[in-house]
Amino acid sequence: WPVVTVFDDCEGLPVHSVNLNNIAMGYDAARRFLKLRHRRFAVLVPDTSGDYFSDHAVCSEQAWRETGLPAEGFHRVCLPLNRSRVPALRKLLASETRPTAIYSSTATFLPELLDVLRKLRLSVPRDVSLIMSAGATRSPEMPRAVDTILINFQKVGRLAFDTLLAVYTGTAVNALT
């Protein structure tokens, strides 16, 4: 059976794939914050071992370094996926040097992040600017002030189907040989 994967790092796998550009998303988020003159920035990523989410942080940090701003203004925060993130978020946001801008590489963190901000009486976007990576531009629990780097899953799915059809009909380019 033909196989087409939808993932961000399929190089070297013996399958056809449609890749997501997490590198560009992280870089774009950081550049948006820098353009707004933020000087303390955090990127939230799951504490997984893979590169899927870490690419967001790596390229956010690259955009930060390109400005020549002090390294201590950038924070990569690894958060658990399977237990509460509240203690780590509270520690990050209650510090005197708390970030004024946060990029969340996944929408999973948003409910707890917004709750911690509310409990600390921090406002979005007055006190903290937020950008998150998501497959929807707006969801009911998301304040209008949260910016989104949209992942167009409809387009990704269409590309995957077109690739699968090309593999099935024998017209796909085979870069594996």
Which pLDDT band, with edges at 50, 70 and 90, does 174 fall under?
low
| pLDDT one-digit tens code per residue, 116-167 | 999 999 988 888 888 777 555 555 555 555 555 556 666 667 777 777 787 7
Using DSSP, state whether 7 is helix, strand or coil.
strand
Q: Which residue has the tokens 């209008």?
A: 144
Instruction: Quickly list DSSP for 33-50.
Output: HHHTT--SEEEEEE--SS
Which pLDDT band, with edges at 50, 70 and 90, does 176 fall under?
very low
Using DSSP, state whether 6 is helix, strand or coil.
strand
Per DSSP, which regions of 27-172 are E strands?
41-46, 74-79, 101-104, 129-134, 147-150
Structural contact between residues 25 and 149, judged by C-beta atoms closer than 8 angstroms: yes
Is the C-alpha dihedral spanning 66, 71, 75, 78 positive or negative? positive
| pLDDT one-digit tens code per residue, 23-38 | 677 778 888 888 888 8
